[in-house]
Homo-oligomer: A and B are copies of this chain.
Amino acid sequence: MTFGDSLRETRNSFGPLCVGIDPHEHLLRAWDLEVSARGVREFGLRTVAASAGRVGVVKPQVSFFERFGSAGFQALEAVMAAARDAGLLVIADAKRGDIGTTMDGYTAAWLSPGSPLEADAVTVSPYLGAGSLQATFAFALQHGKGVFVLAATSNPEGRVLQRAVPHAGEGHAGSVAAEVVETVSAWTRTAEPDAALSSVGFVIGATVDRADAGLPARLSPAAPILAPGFGAQGAEPRDLARLFGPDAHAVIASESRSILSAGPDPVALAARIDERRALYSEDQHG
């Protein structure tokens, strides 16, 4: 079963909401936890417990664990294992990016079956060229894993780079973001010609103006979109269909603060997840 298939199945059952596991320092304090590896472990495990059976996907933000070094990674391993054991799909938000055998190391770390940091998918960064990530895509597909490539983000500092124009006359897309999408899509056309949803998708911020970013109105082939920006960051669940149009079916809407602020009480946290998830239900889109 490919990651694209797993994601479709999960999304059919639970909808698009993904719980971001972001153990910010202020949240650790609010949850009465240590600002330490032990604290992020406990925070992550509680969030997983509240998420299991309520959503299909969780997204731990690696930097909040990495901050505590190897002990933080040990905590992350425990959190990801607990999530996968609970039947959740885990997207490790690591934004790794390198070339050649160095990139292979990151791929092995996050996508190898049996690896201590095994996730179901990982986010990657294409500054060295989306083409340099093809071995990662191939490895992912071969092992039922997924990849989300940074394409267009909503932070203002990212605008100049992501909208820069590749040199004309070389058959390139109209913006860096579009070139990333096209490089990946070309790969998918060959590697997964018949997939209903591909295994290599994109990070596209919920509030990104896709036309302005040079992105096509519809991804072809259909690819998963990890969309931060819902909840506390400003995009409304009811606007998902409008914001993503024909790609809405492929969107994983990541929320963290809007959910995690309901903790630490497990009942309140679970209730908040249910509440947020309901905002994405189909009849709310009508």
Contacts and interface: CB of A to CB of B under 8 A. Distances in A.
Nearest to A117: B69
Interface residues of A, number: 62
A216 interface: no
A22 B98 CA distance: 13
Nearest to A65: B105
Interface in A151-205: 153, 155-167, 170, 172, 175-176, 179-180
A128 interface: yes
A116 B161 contact: no
A71 B70 contact: yes
A68 B116 contact: yes
A142 to B, nearest CB: 17
A231 interface: no
A167 B162 CA distance: 10
A278 B126 CA distance: 36
Nearest to A69: B116
A63 interface: yes
A179 B153 CA distance: 18
A130 B156 CA distance: 11
B77 A70 contact: yes
Contacts of A130: 157, 161
A161 B126 contact: yes
B129 A158 contact: yes
B66 A109 contact: yes
B160 A127 contact: no
Contacts of A128: 150, 153, 155, 157-158, 161
A115 interface: yes
A97 interface: yes
A131 interface: yes
Contacts of A165: 164-167
A156 B99 CA distance: 10
A125 interface: yes
A170 B161 contact: no
Contact of A97 (B76, B115, B125, B176): B125
A22 B73 CA distance: 21
Interface string A243-272: 000000000000000000000000000000
Given A97-B125, A99-B153, 8 more contacts: A66-B106, A66-B117, A67-B108, A97-B127, A100-B155, A128-B150, A129-B161, A164-B179
What 3 A-B pairs are tightest by C-beta distance, nearest first? A69-B116, A129-B157, A63-B105
